[in-house]
Amino acid sequence: MAQGLSVALIVEGLETAFMGRHVRYYPSLPSTMDEARQVALAGAPEGTLVIAEEQTLGRGRLGRAWFSPQGCLALSLVLRPSRRELSSLVMVASLAVVQSIENITPLRAQIKWPNDVLIKGRKVAGILIESALRGDAVDYCLLGIGINVNLDTTSIPEIASFATSLSQELGREVSLLGLLRTLMGTLERYYLMVRGGGDVLDAWRQRLETMGQWIKVSWDEGKVEGWAESVDEEGALLLRLRDGRLLRIPSGEVTVLR
Ligand code: BTN
């Protein structure tokens, strides 16, 4: 336990009702997503946290690899949201990550649509949501969060050109436990806000650094360029094309055109 994590330490300091209250801790896992799927299928309660000190086969969005050696936060939460809550989860999760980073460090973070978390334009955290539907209802949902906490990203050639970490930005190490506890608390608060009928759209929109710029988006239907005009209530990007049409893009990968 090089980073000093343990189930007892994690649960002891939590100030949540259910988020992170049931913990599955592993020194190493291929991916917390696969383990979380198993525990979800076995009936794990909402908020169950699967956390690993390192992942050997972590995965990101769009089939990419996600590097999380020791010193990073790599976790998946089992959630059982309604369909409406599920559509806000991208916003809930990215807002909670940004807020947690800002609560425990003096750093400022932004969101790159739809849910990359950046510091000074470099990626510091990623979010992966996988859900299983039964008919119209959500059977379970896995919320995966990876944060580069105490990591020298320059030592990983695959990510060195675009990623950063909290320790790199701060010039000192950050407490994984402190960040984890803060994250569980802020996630639960935003999640319950949505459950109670509240709205996180405005707060999320304000943190999106992608808006009001010429961008290129890769998505299911190919690549397209346009002006990032806005986002709708489900978090989809509204892209103004050069011919004036407004294109709705539910999810994709953005490159800002300079
Ligand atoms: C992305 O930005 O592409 C999403 C990255 C998500 C990474 C996290 S780390 C914990 C969980 N387990 C995984 O294998 N992936 C997610």
Residue 117 has what pLDDT?
A: 98
pLDDT at 1: 37
Locate the ligand 1 atom nearest the alpha carbon of residue 123 and give its number.
Answer: 2
126 Cβ partners below 8 Å, 6+ apart? 60, 61, 66, 115, 116, 117, 145, 146
What's the pLDDT at 8?
A: 85
Query: Which positions of the chain have pLDDT values less than 50?
Result: 1-2
Q: Which residues of 82-116 are buried (b: 16+ CB within 10 A; e: fewer)?
A: eeebbbbbbbbbbbbbbbbbeebbebebbbbbbbb
What's the pLDDT score for residue 3?
Answer: 58
Closest CA to 54 of 35, 87, 82, 26: 26
Q: What pLDDT is stored for residue 62 in this prediction?
A: 87
pLDDT the model gives residue 186: 97
Q: What is the pLDDT of residue 13?
A: 83
Nearest to 148 by CA among 64, 68, 65: 68
Of all atoms in ligand 1, which is nearest to the CA of residue 145? Answer: 8
| Spacing, Cα 223 to ligand 1 middle (Å) | 24
Q: Report the amino acid identity of residue 36.
A: A
pLDDT in the model for residue 175: 94
pLDDT at 190: 97
Nearest CA to ligand 1 atom 16: 144
184 backbone dihedrals φ, ψ, rounded to 5°: -60, -40
**pLDDT score at 97:** 98
The reported pTM is 0.95
Q: What is the pLDDT of residue 136?
A: 87
Q: How far is the CA of 141 from the centre of ligand 1 (A)?
A: 14
Distance 30 CA to ligand 1 centre (A): 11
246 C-alpha vs ligand 1 centroid, how far in Å? 31
Q: Which token pair is 13?
A: 């300091």
Cα dihedral 69, 191, 95, 62 sign: positive
